[in-house]
Amino acid sequence: MGGRHVHLPICHRGGAKMNKQEFLDALEKQLSGFPPEERDERLSFYAEMIDDRMEAGLSEADAVKDLGTPEAIAEQILKETPLITLAKKRMKPSRSLKAWEIVLLVLGSPVWLSLLIAAFAVALSLYAVLWSGIISLWAVFAAAVGSAVGCTAGGILFSFTASLPVGLACVGAGIFASGLAIFLFFGCQAATRGILLFTRQLGIWTKRLFLKKEEA
pLDDT score, position 212: 57
CB 170 within 8 A of CB 154: yes
Tell me, yes or no, whether 63 lies in a domain: yes
- The parent domain of residue 128 ranges over 99-209
pLDDT score, position 13: 45
* Residue 195 amino acid letter: I
| Distance in angstroms (rounded) separating the CA atoms of residues 49 and 66 | 10
Total domains in the fold of the chain: 2
Query: In terms of domains, do 106 and 72 share one?
Result: no
Query: In terms of domains, do 74 and 152 share one?
Result: no
Tell me, yes or no, whether 15 lies in a domain: no
Query: In terms of domains, do 29 and 120 share one?
Result: no
Which of these three, 12, 46, 81, is where a domain ends? 81
Tell me, yes or no, whether 55 lies in a domain: yes
Query: In terms of domains, do 70 and 140 share one?
Result: no
| Distance in angstroms (rounded) separating the CA atoms of residues 201 and 22 | 30
* Residue 184 amino acid letter: L
Query: In terms of domains, do 74 and 46 share one?
Result: yes
Query: In terms of domains, do 63 and 165 share one?
Result: no
pLDDT score, position 3: 44
Query: In terms of domains, do 128 and 49 share one?
Result: no
**Per-residue tens of pLDDT for the chain, all 216 residues:** 444 444 444 344 444 578 888 888 888 888 877 877 888 888 889 888 888 888 888 888 888 888 888 888 888 888 877 777 666 665 555 556 677 767 777 777 777 778 878 877 888 888 888 889 999 999 999 999 999 999 988 888 888 887 788 888 888 999 999 999 999 999 999 999 998 888 888 777 777 776 654 434
Number of Cβ within 10 Å of residue 97's Cβ equals 11
CB 9 within 8 A of CB 53: no
Q: Report the sign of the C-alpha dihedral through residues 100, 106, 107, 109, in that order.
A: positive
pLDDT score, position 198: 87
Query: In terms of domains, do 70 and 107 share one?
Result: no
Q: Which residues contact 136 (CB under 8 A, 6 or more apart)?
A: none
Query: In terms of domains, do 45 and 108 share one?
Result: no
Query: In terms of domains, do 53 and 149 share one?
Result: no
If phi > 0 it is left, if psi is from -120 to 50 it is alpha, else beta; for residue 126 that is alpha
Tell me, yes or no, whether 90 lies in a domain: no
Whole-Å CA distances, 173 to 95, 138, 149, 214 = 72, 20, 10, 65
pLDDT score, position 136: 93
Listed in sequence order, the DSSP H helices in 32-98 are: 36-55, 60-65, 70-80, 83-91
Tell me, yes or no, whether 88 lies in a domain: no
Query: In terms of domains, do 59 and 119 share one?
Result: no
pLDDT score, position 8: 43
Torsion of CA 166, 169, 173, 179, to 10 degrees: 150
Tell me, yes or no, whether 14 lies in a domain: no
Tell me, yes or no, whether 92 lies in a domain: no
CA 25 to chain centre: 27
pLDDT score, position 92: 57
Please state at what angle helix 36-55 crosses helix 20-30, rounded to 10 degrees.
160
Which of these three, 81, 116, 134, is where a domain ends? 81
Neighbouring C-alpha atoms within 13 Å toward the C-beta of 165: 0
Name the burial class of residue 27, with classes exposed (0-12), middle (13-18) and buried (19+) by CB atoms within 10 angstroms of its CB.
buried
Query: In terms of domains, do 74 and 111 share one?
Result: no
Q: Report the sign of the C-alpha dihedral through residues 60, 65, 69, 74, in that order.
A: negative
pLDDT score, position 65: 85
| DSSP state for residue 19 in the 8-state scheme | -
Tell me, yes or no, whether 215 lies in a domain: no
pLDDT score, position 89: 60
